[in-house]
Chains A and B, each alone.
Chain A
Amino acid sequence: MLAGAGTLYYKEVLRFWKVSFQTVGAPVLTAVLYLLIFGHVLEDHVKVYDQVGYTSFLIPGLVMMSVLQNSFANSSSSLIQSKITGNLVFLLVAPLSHWAWFVAYVGASVTRGLVVGAGVLAVTVWFGPPSFAQPLWALVFAVLGAALMGSLGLIAGLWAEKFDQMAAFQNFIVMPMTFLAGVFYSIHSLPAIWQKVSHLNPFFYMIDGFRHGFFGVSDVSPWLSLAVVGSSLIVVSAITLRLLASGYKLRS
């Protein structure tokens, strides 16, 4: 069981690592472009927190956005590709439990998310050394957020039968929810109604909690963010495990 899950984790990591130019290099470049453009244009115009420049504010948001999007992309794209090309049969005939599938796919998603996040962070050092007021918070939110997105990616990969369904899931759910979660702004700068709406978005808590690790200040308490992110992770994981155990869209 342990060897089986370990092998699947290894295979999933090897899969994205073999195409790291696309799976790691490209998202790092995208994040840097965002930083260059938004940072340059808005640095002198937007004030978010006292003593925190806009570019510094933007960096953790972009890092976390990259972590979340790439964690989701890893499990979802791997699963849908295997389903469509038919090579998922090699996993289906293996004696792997639904827990083994879950741990391996989500573990690999977290790994990809953290690798991309670290890559973005490493490149942004050029814009000024990052501050780590409370680094443990940053690590906790990066890991929990990546696990949540890896798990969500598994659900999407199980559900989708075609690449355009997967693209719809990514473009109409994941992208808007990450973009509208305070990557580029503090929700305190929003009108009251949109502040309330933002509080319903679990992605907001992932990014706000992560940012707390950098500056020691955030829009809401990191403990509240931890509670929201932790409970979302439990709910999404429970659904994923249930779907895997039942063989949803895997075994007829």
Chain B
Amino acid sequence: MTAALHFDHVSKTYRGARGTLQALTEVSFDIQPGEFFGLLGPNGAGKTTLISILAGLSRATQGRVTVMGHDVVSDYAAARKSLGIVPQELVFDPFFSVRETLRIQSGYFGVTGNDAWIDELLAGLGLADKANANMRQLSGGMKRRVLVAQALVHRPPVIVLDEPTAGVDVELRQTLWSFIARLNKEGHTVLLTTHYLEEAEALCGRIAMLKQGRVVALERTSALLAGTASTMLRFKTDDALPPELAAQARVTGRIAQIKAQDAAQVEAVLARLRAAGVRVEDLEIGRADLEDVFLDIMQGRAPAAVQPVAEVQ
């Protein structure tokens, strides 16, 4: 079966007046048709560079990328027709209304007279009453919805969302995800980059993690989570943790999280907290989530099962 997206040893070097920057190094992986795939990594890991190469906004220094079997450079027209990109930046053309924007974008792809689909997109994304509003009059969240509609207007089989929920409200997130999930169920391939790891955990069947331009993990989401078979102790406290616990704890405000391999370790941590006189509230014991896995991998502490990735599929 032809991969929906195929990244083959993709490297990208930026050469500028201030020296060279190796943005991507030998990135290789495939995404199969119908997958919901997450691309994660900290800022500057190379996610947007990889998507730019895929979209034709940027050119790989080495390697090749195909979309539904079409090379993004030598067969760019077919590749781009198969691709719907939701850019990260909130950009719009201030001259046009929402409907004009969508008709024009559709026309660029050679698709005309598809007002029925445009109406379906507007309804699905909660934009029906804004169809004739000028783009300038829309709120940030509404503009984001139009960006999604623009990416889908030519009915591409592959949809790429580059941090689509950055800075948007809860309601839009829900609308957006239910719409994208529906498209995925209907057979569209989805590639998502996001900073919200709970979104990736909930939506993505498979995940690749990038760090400094290299793939450092590539697994089914369930396998990534199973790979860290640890238990997580979460509690709130206003007190300082004893030094040996503080060293291994992840602290966010009043919330502290400490990893424990088994029940005996949980007991040991609790005993140490008690001995140090730390007052603990809302104690809970849960399994590690994707955020824990992500931090482990980015800090080079991942279990052997999930890193590093040399070759894929």
Residues of A participating in the B interface, judged by any CB pair closer than 8 Å = 1-4, 6-8, 10-11, 14-15, 18-19, 82, 85-87, 89-97, 247, 251-252
B91: nearest chain-A partner, CB-CB: A86
A85: nearest chain-B partner, CB-CB: B91
A172 CB to nearest B CB, Å: 26
Q: Answer yes or no: B298 CB below 8 A from chain A CBs.
A: no
**What would be 20 A-B contacts, judged by CB atoms less than 8 Å apart?**
A1-B77, A3-B107, A3-B111, A6-B107, A7-B112, A11-B107, A14-B100, A15-B95, A19-B95, A85-B94, A87-B93, A90-B93, A90-B105, A92-B57, A93-B83, A94-B105, A95-B76, A95-B81, A95-B109, A251-B57
Per the bound structure, the CA–CA distance linking A2 and B52 in Å amounts to 26
Per the bound structure, the CA–CA distance linking A15 and B97 in Å amounts to 11
Per the bound structure, the CA–CA distance linking A175 and B174 in Å amounts to 54
Contacts of A89 in B (CB 8 A): 57, 87, 89, 91
Q: Answer yes or no: B177 CB below 8 A from chain A CBs.
A: no
Per the bound structure, the CA–CA distance linking A178 and B112 in Å amounts to 40
Per the bound structure, the CA–CA distance linking A4 and B111 in Å amounts to 8
Partner of A4, one of B79, B89, B107: B107
Contacts of A251 in B (CB 8 A): 56-59
Contacts of B105 in A (CB 8 A): 90, 94
A97: nearest chain-B partner, CB-CB: B77
Q: Is the CB of A252 within 8 A of B89?
A: no
B192 CB to nearest A CB, Å: 17
A2: nearest chain-B partner, CB-CB: B110
Given A85-B91, A251-B56, 9 more pairs with CB closer than 8 A: A10-B107, A19-B95, A82-B93, A86-B89, A92-B56, A93-B85, A95-B80, A95-B108, A252-B14
Q: Answer yes or no: B96 CB below 8 A from chain A CBs.
A: yes
Partner of B110, one of A4, A10, A85: A4
Q: Answer yes or no: B78 CB below 8 A from chain A CBs.
A: yes
Partner of A7, one of B79, B85, B93, B108: B108
Per the bound structure, the CA–CA distance linking A4 and B59 in Å amounts to 23
Contacts of A94 in B (CB 8 A): 80, 105, 108-109
Q: Answer yes or no: B122 CB below 8 A from chain A CBs.
A: no
Report the count of interface residues on B (CB-CB < 8 A): 34
Interface residues of B in 110-147 (CB under 8 A from A): 110-112
Contacts of B56 in A (CB 8 A): 92-93, 251
Per the bound structure, the CA–CA distance linking A85 and B135 in Å amounts to 13
Q: Is the CB of A95 within 8 A of B150?
A: no
Known: A89-B87, A97-B77. Is A18-B109 also a contact (CB below 8 A)? no
Known: A82-B93, A87-B91, A89-B87. Is A95-B110 also a contact (CB below 8 A)? yes
A247 CB to nearest B CB, Å: 7
Per the bound structure, the CA–CA distance linking A3 and B77 in Å amounts to 13
A6: nearest chain-B partner, CB-CB: B107
A218 CB to nearest B CB, Å: 40
B101: nearest chain-A partner, CB-CB: A90
Per the bound structure, the CA–CA distance linking A91 and B57 in Å amounts to 10
Per the bound structure, the CA–CA distance linking A19 and B81 in Å amounts to 32
Q: Is the CB of A7 within 8 A of B104?
A: yes
A213 CB to nearest B CB, Å: 34
Contacts of A247 in B (CB 8 A): 59
| Residue interface mask B54-65, A partner, CB < 8 A = 1 | 011111000000
Q: Is the CB of A14 within 8 A of B96?
A: yes
Q: Is the CB of B14 within 8 A of A8?
A: no
Known: A93-B57, A95-B80, A251-B58. Is A87-B92 also a contact (CB below 8 A)? yes
6 closest A-B pairs by CB: A7-B107, A94-B108, A95-B77, A86-B91, A95-B80, A3-B110
Which of A2, A15, A89 is packed against the most chain B CB atoms within 10 Å? A89
Which of B87, B92, B95 is packed against the most chain A CB atoms within 10 Å? B95
Per the bound structure, the CA–CA distance linking A112 and B81 in Å amounts to 31
Contacts of A8 in B (CB 8 A): 107-108
Partner of A1, one of B14, B52, B55, B110: B110
B140 CB to nearest A CB, Å: 14
Partner of B80, one of A2, A14, A85, A93: A93
A81 CB to nearest B CB, Å: 9
Per the bound structure, the CA–CA distance linking A10 and B112 in Å amounts to 13
B98 CB to nearest A CB, Å: 14
Q: Is the CB of B58 within 8 A of A252?
A: yes
Per the bound structure, the CA–CA distance linking A247 and B76 in Å amounts to 13
Interface residues of B in 142-179 (CB under 8 A from A): 150
Q: Is the CB of A252 within 8 A of B91?
A: no
Per the bound structure, the CA–CA distance linking A50 and B57 in Å amounts to 59
Q: Is the CB of B108 within 8 A of A90?
A: yes
Partner of A11, one of B79, B83, B87, B104: B104
Contacts of A7 in B (CB 8 A): 104, 106-108, 112
B133 CB to nearest A CB, Å: 15
Per the bound structure, the CA–CA distance linking A2 and B83 in Å amounts to 20
Interface residues of B in 15-61 (CB under 8 A from A): 52, 55-59
B301 CB to nearest A CB, Å: 34
Which of B14, B58, B109, B112 is packed against the most chain A CB atoms within 10 Å? B109
